[in-house]
Amino acid sequence: MKKNIKFIIIGIVIFIIVIITSLYIININNTKIILNQKNLEITIGGEEKILIKKTKNHLINKKITWSSSNNNVAIVNNDGVVKGLSKGNTIITARTSNGKEVQCNVIVNELNCPMDSKIHFINTGSSDAFLIESCGHYGLVDASNAYNDGTKKSVSGYQNSVEHVTDYLNKIMGCNGINCKGKLDFVIATHSHSDHIGGMVKIANVFTDSNTKYFYRKYIKTRDDVTKDWDNQGYYDRAVKAMENAGAKMIEITDNDPVFNFYDFNIFLMNTNKVNKDELEKGLARSENKNSIIELIVHRNGVKTLLASDMEEEDERRVQDKIGKVDIFKVGHHSWNWSNSKEFLEKLKPDHMIITNNTIIDKDRICYGLKINPHAKVYLTSSVNDAIIAVYSQDGYQLMNDEEKIVLESDICNIN
- Tens of pLDDT along 169-216? 999 998 876 778 888 999 999 999 989 999 999 999 999 999 999 999
With a cut of 80, say whether residue 340 has pLDDT above it.
Answer: yes
Give the helix/strand (H/E) hosting 169. Answer: helix 162-173
Q: What percent of the chain has pLDDT over 90?
A: 45
pLDDT interval class at 157 (50, 70, 90): very low
Q: What's the rounded Cα separation, in Å, for the pair 366 and 376? A: 10
pLDDT at position 255 is 66
Check residues 83 and 63 and name the one with the higher pLDDT. 83
Closest by Cα among 335, 188, 189 to 262: 188
Angle ∠(191,193,199) on CA atoms, nearest 5: 95
35 versus 408: the higher-pLDDT residue is 35
Measuring CA to CA, how many Å separate 9 from each of 2, 6, 19, 81?
11, 5, 15, 50
Question: Of 55-64, 125-134, 235-244, 342-351, which gets the smallest average pLDDT?
Answer: 55-64
Q: Alpha-carbon distance 320 to 342, whole Å?
A: 12
- Measured in degrees and rounded to the nearest 5, phi and psi for residue 149 equal -80, 0
Per-residue pLDDT tens digits for 285-304: 678 888 899 999 999 999 99
Reported pTM: 0.83
Q: What is the CATH number of domain 117-401?
A: 3.60.15.10
**CATH code for the structural domain at 33-109:** 2.60.40.1080
Q: Domain spans of the chain? A: 33-109, 117-401
Output the CA–CA distances (angstroms, integers) from residue 355 to 174, 333, 410, in the order listed.
Answer: 27, 9, 11
Q: Which of 74-83, 187-196, 207-216, 274-283 has the lowest mean pLDDT?
A: 274-283
The set of long-range contacts for 202-205, using a CB threshold of 8 Å and a minimum separation of 24, is 202/143, 202/146, 202/162, 202/163, 202/166, 203/140, 203/143, 203/162, 203/165, 203/166, 204/239, 204/242, 204/243, 204/245, 204/246, 204/248, 205/242, 205/246
| pLDDT tens digits, one per residue of 384-393 | 889 999 999 9
- Mean per-residue pLDDT for 100-113? 87
**Predicted local confidence at residue 56, as pLDDT:** 54
Q: Do domains 33-109 and 117-401 have the same CATH topology?
A: no
- Mean pLDDT for 10-14 is 66
Identify the weakest region by mean pLDDT among 195-199, 267-271, 358-362.
358-362
pLDDT at residue 16, as a whole number: 63
Across the chain, mean pLDDT equals: 83
Non-local (6+) Cβ contacts of 396 within 8 A are: 301, 303
Average of per-residue pLDDT across 371-393: 89
